[in-house]
Amino acid sequence: MPKVGMEKIRKAQLIDATLEAIEKYGFHGTTVSVISKKANVSTGIISHYFGDKAGLIDATMRYLLEQLKQELLNHLPDNHNHHARLHAIIDANFASVQRSKKAAVTWLVFWTQSMHSPELARLQKVNAKRLVSNLKYSLKHLIKPEKVEWSAQLIAAQIDGYWLRNALSQTDGNDSDHAVETCKTLIDNVIRDYGLAQKA
C-alpha cells in the first residue's frame, strides 16, 4: 500500500519537475518522459495522478495561480486600508515566486497555450477576472463609482504589461522594482484624480 501523504508528495514533485522542464525545454520539449525522468518516477505515475501531459500542465498552472493567491493573502494589510490593499496587490503580482525564471517561462507558455486549450483559456479568464475583481473591491471605496471599472482595467493592464516586459527581458530584480513603483504611482494618481472627495 502507498504511504499516507505520498500522493501529495508525488504531485508536488511532478509539478516542480514540470516547471523545471518547461524552463529548460519549452512546452513542446516537455514530454511526459522528460518530466518523469526529472521527477525520478515512472511515466505511469504521471498517468495515474494527472492522466496525461495536458492534465499535468493544468495542475501546474493551478499551482501557480494558488501561489499568486497566497502571495496576495500574505501581502494584504490586517486593517481595512483599501489604499494599502491596492499596493499589496501590486506587491503580490511582482513577488519573487511569480517572477522567478521557472514561473515566468511557465506563465508565458500558459498564456500562449491558452489560445489552443479551452481549459487553460478558462483558467486564464479566471485569473484575469480575479485581478480586476480584487482591484475593483478596493477602488470602489476610494474613487467615484463611474471610474471604478475603467481604473481597474487600466491598472490590471499595466500590471500585466510590466510583468510581460520583465519576463521577456530576463533581467535582474531592478526592473521589477521599477514596475512595482510605477504601478503604485498609477494607483496613487487614480485616487488623487478620481477620489470620492474630488469634484467632477
Residue 170 lies in a domain: yes
Residue 164 lies in a domain: yes
Residue 23 lies in a domain: yes
| pTM listed for this prediction | 0.85
Percent of the chain with pLDDT over 70: 92
22 with 66, same domain: the answer is: no
Evaluate if residue 1 carries a pLDDT over 50. Answer: no
Mean pLDDT, rounded, of the chain = 89
**By C-alpha distance, which of 187, 78, 61 is closest to 122?**
61
123 with 79, same domain: the answer is: yes
Residue numbers of the domain that contains 6: 1-51
SS3 assignment, position 33: helix
70 with 19, same domain: the answer is: no
Residue 200 pLDDT grade (very low, low, confident, very high; cuts 50, 70, 90): very low
Q: What is the pLDDT of residues 151-171, one digit of tens each?
A: 999 999 999 999 988 888 866
The CATH number for 187's domain is 1.10.357.10
141 with 179, same domain: the answer is: yes
99 with 186, same domain: the answer is: yes
97 with 164, same domain: the answer is: yes
Cβ-based neighbours of 174, under 8 Å, separated by 6 or more: none
pLDDT at residue number 103 = 83
Q: Total structural domains in the chain?
A: 2
Residue 200 lies in a domain: no
Question: DSSP per residue over 139-156, as a string?
Answer: HTTTB-HHHHHHHHHHHH
